[in-house]
Amino acid sequence: MRYKRPDKKNALSLLEAARKDLKFTFTIKVSEDSGSTIIRNIHNSFRMLGDSLLVSKGIEPTDHITPIKELLKLNINTSRPINLIDSIRRLRNNINYYGYRPKLNEVEDVVSIAKTCFEPLYKEVKKIVSKI
């Protein structure tokens, strides 16, 4: 982690990019062939939310764990626990680094997590970032 000046403009830009990317990802037909791409994109959208929080605090993350951990610190009520986001990170790592091919039910579960957790997290992060 590197410390630098808090950057509200960049933080808001990351927020909007995350939302836009996720919206596009939801248009991709869920299948075993598209599963890896869908999971990567969903993970990236959550990571960008965490990056937005960190950038707003003047912290430049150097890995994918720190932004996710930052999101998990938020006290948000969702129908599914937000700590499931870390399981998306682990699944994405298995895909990227070990050639894992996700099963259809895993892809559907990740999409379900994103649909229930992303928007409440997005709103909370935007509220926090907008205050700086």
CB 63 within 8 A of CB 47: no
What digits encode the pLDDT tens for the residues 62-91?
A: 898 999 999 999 999 999 999 999 999 999
| Angle subtended at Cα 67 by Cα 31 and Cα 78, rounded to the nearest 5 degrees | 65
DSSP H stretches of helix in the chain: 8-25, 32-56, 65-72, 85-98, 104-130
> Containing domain of residue 35, as a range?
2-130
pLDDT exceeds 80 at position 1: no
Whether 45 has a pLDDT exceeding 90, the answer reads yes
How many percent of the chain have pLDDT more than 70? 99
Residue 2 — very low, low, confident or very high, per pLDDT cuts 50/70/90?
A: confident
Task: Give the CATH number for residue 84.
Answer: 1.20.120
The per-residue pLDDT for 56 is 95
pLDDT exceeding 90 applies to what percent of the chain? 89
Q: Are 124 and 74 in contact (CB under 8 A)?
A: yes
Q: How many domains does the chain have?
A: 1
Partners of 59 in the β-ladder: 3
pLDDT for position 71? 95
Residue 129: pLDDT over 80: yes
